[in-house]
């Protein structure tokens, strides 16, 4: 009789340790098509010219959380090139690409529930994203559900722009920005 | 005693489990970034250095009235070149001249070509090719094939210029003729086409 009770006790404790209370919170990132954990390709094919001065790309992701405390952080790699012709100091670099991030609340999400952290509260450069850089402080939940089709979410729109400057070396440049939604 | 110990152990474990707030990754998105910079070759009108002045047609009209004390008559057509290519060439080719009864020949029309650069451009990005390194005449630009006028060995920009205001490499062409009494009244005409090519 004592043995099953001890076994039950240890299973109970094990479950609590493996699934702490915070894990009960749900968090999700989708793209505009509600694809979970999306890969959103940002591609520029860019030709220096007299006008217009810039080429831009924009993309969006949706954040859902049923808890009031969450954070969006990002890590960047590149851009770098292995085939650019010319002096490497004229390669396209992260500080050549301007970055504008905006947040909108939809459905039941609180319009003040997601706060962009400086310097992302205004236009900055892609180089502002380094490793584990804090982008958004989430202070309010989006709703009580993180279902991909829940109409309540925070929409994070990213706009990248690059001057069509004649200084840039022709070539292909590749990089990646990884966004992670964490709790707390 | 055993029950009390077990109960105490349970309470302690529950407290520990709930006081540890592990920041767990819950969701992620990735944005692969691909930037392709293509090579670019642009010629614009030095007098209208904007999109409206790209690939310009520049008319050079020289009016010659032979007289005592008349000086040489000149006109020019100036172009601005921009390229991020490390090698480029400005070539020229001419249509067959129409003397128009004037008696003017291609050799009578003098050609001077000079280069210059804006403050954000590399003046050494291109070098004049002989015989355009000095004064020559229209016959140096042939009708049968394009001839090299400028040999570009570097991109034209020397610094970033977000307004494209001072990153130009300029090629100034000047055409001149003496007001000689030998020439008969009429109109001589010819067209020179400049092309920017790479390499």
| Count of CB atoms situated within 10 Å of the CB of A94 | 21
For the stretch B185-199, pLDDT in tens is 999 999 999 999 998
User: Percentage of chain B surpassing pLDDT 90?
Assistant: 80
Residue B23 lies in a domain: no
User: Percentage of chain A surpassing pLDDT 90?
Assistant: 67
pLDDT at B13: 52
Closest-CA residue of B relative to A158 is B31
Classify strands B24-37 and A42-46 as parallel, antiparallel or unpaired: parallel
Q: Cα–Cα distance between B144 and B166 in angstroms, integer?
A: 36
Give the residue extent of every domain in chain A. 25-182
pLDDT score of A107 more than 80:
yes
Residue B64 lies in a domain: no
pLDDT score of B39 more than 60:
yes
Number of CB pairs, chain A paired with chain B, less than 8 A apart: 195
Residue B18 lies in a domain: no
Residue B108 lies in a domain: yes
Is the CB of B36 less than 8 angstroms away from the CB of A172? yes
Is the CB of A165 less than 8 angstroms away from the CB of B31? no
pLDDT score of B17 more than 90:
no
Q: In sequence order, which residues have a C-beta less than 8 Å from that of residue A18 and are 6 or more positions away? A: none
Question: What are the chain B neighbours of A170 within 8 Å (beta carbons)?
Answer: 37-39, 84-85
* Predicted ipTM of the assembly: 0.83
pLDDT at A74: 96
Cβ atoms of B181 and B66 within 8 Å: the answer is: yes
Instruction: Tell me what the pLDDT averaged over chain B comes to.
Output: 89
User: Percentage of chain B surpassing pLDDT 70?
Assistant: 87
Mutation target for A interface from B31, B124, B165: give the one with most A CBs within 10 A. B31
Largest Cα separation within chain A, whole Å, is 86
pLDDT score of B5 more than 70:
no
pLDDT score of B24 more than 70:
no
* A109 min Cα distance to partner chain B (Å): 18
Residue B176 lies in a domain: yes
Cβ atoms of A155 and A109 within 8 Å: the answer is: no
Question: How many domains in chain B?
Answer: 1
- Region B126-150: what's the mean pLDDT? 96
Query: Which tokens belong to A175?
Result: 């990089």
pLDDT at A14: 53
Question: What are the chain A neighbours of B23 within 8 Å (beta carbons)?
Answer: 182-184
Is the CB of A172 less than 8 angstroms away from the CB of B35? yes
Q: Cα–Cα distance between A53 and A64 in angstroms, integer?
A: 36
pLDDT score of B121 more than 80:
yes
Q: In sequence order, which residues have a C-beta less than 8 Å from that of residue A36 and are 6 or more positions away? A: A28, A29, A30, A148, B27
Q: How confident is the model at residue A137 (pLDDT cuts 50, 70, 90)?
A: very high
Is the CB of A179 less than 8 angstroms away from the CB of B31? yes
Instruction: Tell me what the pLDDT averaged over chain A comes to.
Output: 88
Mutation target for A interface from B22, B27, B81, B160: give the one with most A CBs within 10 A. B27
Residue ranges making up the domain that contains B176 = 70-199
User: Which segments within B109-155 are labelled E, that is strand?
Assistant: 110-117, 126-128, 136-137, 147-152
More confident residue, A101 or A22: A101
- Region B66-83: what's the mean pLDDT? 92
For the stretch A6-53, pLDDT in tens is 655 555 555 544 444 445 678 999 998 889 999 999 998 888 998 878
Q: How confident is the model at residue B69 (pLDDT cuts 50, 70, 90)?
A: confident
Question: What are the chain A neighbours of B31 within 8 Å (beta carbons)?
Answer: 39-42, 59, 158, 176-179
Q: How confident is the model at residue B47 (pLDDT cuts 50, 70, 90)?
A: very high
pLDDT at B25: 47
pLDDT at A21: 47
């Amino acid at each position: 009789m004592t043995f099953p009770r001890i076994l039950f006790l240890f299973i109970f404790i094990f479950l609590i340790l493996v699934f702490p209370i915070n894990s009960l919170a749900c968090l999700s990132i989708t793209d505009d098509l509600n694809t979970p954990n999306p890969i959103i390709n940002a591609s520029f094919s860019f030709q220096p010219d007299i006008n217009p001065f810039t080429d831009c790309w924009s993309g969006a992701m949706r954040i859902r959380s049923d808890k009031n405390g969450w954070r969006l952080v990002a890590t960047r790699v590149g851009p770098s090139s292995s085939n650019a012709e010319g002096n490497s100091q004229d390669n396209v670099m992260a500080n050549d690409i301007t970055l504008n991030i905006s947040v909108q609340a939809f459905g039941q999400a609180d319009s003040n529930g997601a706060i962009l952290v400086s310097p992302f509260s205004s236009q900055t450069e892609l180089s502002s994203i380094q490793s584990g850089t804090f982008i958004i402080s989430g202070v309010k939940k989006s709703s009580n559900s993180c279902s991909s089709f829940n109409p309540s979410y925070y929409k994070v729109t990213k706009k990248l722009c690059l001057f069509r400057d004649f200084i840039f070396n022709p070539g292909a440049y590749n990089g990646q920005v990884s966004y992670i939604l964490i709790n707390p | 005693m055993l029950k009390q110990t077990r109960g105490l152990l349970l309470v302690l474990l529950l407290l520990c489990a709930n006081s540890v707030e592990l920041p767990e990754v819950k969701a992620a998105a990735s944005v692969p970034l691909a930037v392709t910079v293509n090579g670019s070759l642009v010629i614009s009108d030095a007098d209208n250095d904007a999109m409206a002045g790209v690939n310009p047609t520049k008319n050079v009209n020289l009016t010659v009235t032979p007289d005592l004390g008349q000086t040489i008559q000149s006109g020019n057509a100036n172009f601005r070149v921009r390229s991020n290519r490390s090698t480029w060439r400005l070539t020229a080719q001419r249509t067959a001249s129409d003397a128009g009864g004037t008696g003017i020949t291609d050799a009578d029309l003098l050609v001077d070509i000079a280069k210059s650069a804006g403050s954000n451009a590399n003046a050494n990005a291109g070098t004049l090719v002989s015989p355009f390194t000095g004064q020559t005449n229209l016959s140096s630009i042939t009708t049968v094939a394009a001839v090299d006028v400028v040999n570009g060995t570097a991109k034209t920009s020397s610094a970033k210029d977000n307004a494209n205001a001072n990153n130009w490499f300029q090629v100034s062409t000047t055409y001149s003729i003496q007001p000689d009494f030998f020439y008969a009244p009429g109109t001589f005409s010819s067209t020179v086409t400049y092309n920017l090519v790479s390499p």
